[in-house]
């Protein structure tokens, strides 16, 4: 049981994502003024808004520990405005692992560990909030990367527009990216990430099949949460937040926080609904961006088979997972098992995770 609780924190960051894969996009923009970035971001939002539903198979590489070429295949079912279920189909070791966002409930389940996280009363993503994130991300990307459009191609049987994205200068996970975006709906169909100057692929994701807005994609996304021999960590975002001072008193670890100079400000501290070892979620925000930092005492029981891109955070080995419109980062620092979930651009997400230090009591 203790092992399950310790490793369950790996699921928390993914489960705290408040936007669905239906809002996924790579914000690509050409130009150097805010008006142009806003226009392109709004165009992408308009295209995505026309996606009523889809059913896809997605294959990822670069996330299996010790085997960067191993493929992880998942089925993705989406229905507007925000219901989505992502279930791993292969390899066998991860089969059944599921992420689901259904209504106001978000779940992440590890079939192998028989452990899950369930979060209730998740705020709905609105058209206005999605556009705000797209615009802010476009402005950041225009200042950070150069973009070059290629000749039309085909991915998963659909017409796609390829882009090459190159960072102006080095930085935390400022990566070279090749992506192909659906020409009609702006969904990213294939993305390949490499470190600048490197030949080996760091991470790749590709839709090998997708049906959009047709009868074949009509099956509603559902997930029956397992109950037999299952451990669930429960969170309620509508619960009364606790004061940071109270959180520090009840925690059996030193809470990690970003420095005062961080652009994100602490907005709430939430405790997990569990009688097991204390687990806290510190929420940060500066519209339109947000971050959650889930923390519990490290008991040396982290799951070595957990998936993710391996990244060094000043000597702390972290695993990064790229979601639809968010990033999750899991690592251990100062005796604390930490998971960060955020909609910050990838390089800023890594910088935020790197900045977390022991807070003064």
Tens-place pLDDT, residues 34-58: 887 888 899 999 999 999 999 999 9
Of residues 123 and 128, more confidence is placed in 128
Alpha helices (H) in 154-307, listed in sequence order = 244-250
| Span between the terminal Cα atoms of the chain, in Å | 30
pLDDT band at 301 (very low <50, low <70, confident <90, very high): confident
pLDDT of residue 15 exceeding 70, the answer is no
pTM: 0.86
Q: What is the largest CA-CA distance in the chain?
A: 59
The least confident of 16-30, 114-128, 248-262, 279-293 is 16-30
Q: Are strands 115-120 and 231-236 parallel, antiparallel or unpaired?
A: parallel
Query: Taking a C-beta distance cutoff of 8 angstroms, is the pair 217, 76 a contact?
Result: no
Task: Output DSSP code: residue 229.
Answer: T
Confidence of residue 201 (pLDDT cuts 50, 70, 90): very high
Return the structure tokens found at 357: 């230090």
Q: Is 37 helix (H, G, I), strand (E, B) or coil?
A: helix
What's the CA gap between 39 and 182, in Å, rounded?
A: 18
With a cut of 70, say whether residue 331 has pLDDT above it.
yes
At residue 275, the pLDDT reads 60
Enter the tokens of residue 230.
């299952």
Average pLDDT over residues 202-218: 93
pLDDT at position 7 is 36
| Contact (CB, 8 A) for 8 and 116 | yes
Contacts of 137 (CB under 8 A, 6+ apart): 27, 41, 345
216 in helix, strand or coil? Answer: helix
| pLDDT in the model for residue 250 | 87
Query: Which CATH code is given to the segment(s) 239-358?
Result: 3.30.200.100
Q: What is the pLDDT of residue 56?
A: 97
| Phi-psi sector, 213: left (phi>0), alpha (psi -120 to 50), beta | left
CA distance to 58, 252, 276, 361, per residue, from 74 (Å): 5, 37, 32, 43
Is the confidence at residue 112, as pLDDT, over 90?
yes
């Amino acid at each position: 049981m203790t092992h399950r609780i310790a490793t369950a924190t790996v699921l928390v960051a993914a489960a705290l994502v408040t936007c669905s894969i239906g809002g996924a996009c790579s914000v690509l923009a050409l130009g150097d003024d805010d008006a142009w970035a806003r226009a392109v971001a709004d165009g992408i939002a308009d295209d995505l808004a026309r996606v009523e539903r889809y059913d896809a198979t997605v294959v990822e590489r670069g996330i299996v520990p010790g085997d960067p070429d191993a493929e992880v295949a998942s089925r993705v079912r989406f229905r507007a405005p925000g219901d989505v279920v992502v279930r791993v189909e292969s390899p066998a070791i991860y089969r059944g692992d599921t992420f689901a966002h259904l209504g106001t409930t978000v779940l992440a389940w590890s079939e192998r560990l028989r452990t899950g996280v369930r979060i209730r009363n998740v705020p709905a993503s609105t058209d206005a909030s999605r556009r705000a994130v797209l615009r802010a991300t476009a402005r950041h990307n225009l200042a950070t990367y150069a973009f070059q459009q290629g000749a039309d191609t085909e991915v998963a049987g659909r017409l796609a527009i390829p882009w090459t994205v190159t960072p102006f200068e080095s930085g935390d996970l400022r990566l070279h990216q090749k992506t192909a975006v659906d020409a009609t709906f702006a969904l990213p169909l294939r993305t390949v990430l490499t470190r600048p100057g490197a030949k080996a692929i760091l991470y790749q994701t590709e839709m090998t099949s997708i049906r959009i807005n047709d009868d074949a994609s009509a099956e509603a996304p559902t997930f029956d949460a397992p109950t037999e021999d299952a451990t669930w960590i429960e969170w309620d975002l509508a619960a009364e937040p606790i004061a940071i001072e109270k959180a520090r008193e009840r925690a059996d670890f030193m809470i990690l926080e970003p420095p005062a100079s961080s652009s994100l400000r602490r907005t709430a501290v939430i405790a997990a609904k569990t009688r097991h070892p204390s687990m806290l979620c510190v929420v940060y925000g500066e519209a339109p961006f947000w971050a959650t930092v889930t923390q519990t005492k490290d008991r040396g029981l982290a799951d070595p088979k957990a998936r993710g891109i391996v990244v060094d955070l000043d000597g702390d080995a972290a695993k990064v997972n790229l979601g639809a419109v968010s990033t999750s980062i899991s690592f251990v620092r100062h005796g604390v098992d930490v998971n960060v979930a955020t909609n910050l651009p990838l390089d800023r997400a890594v910088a935020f995770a790197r900045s977390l230090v022991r807070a003064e009591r």
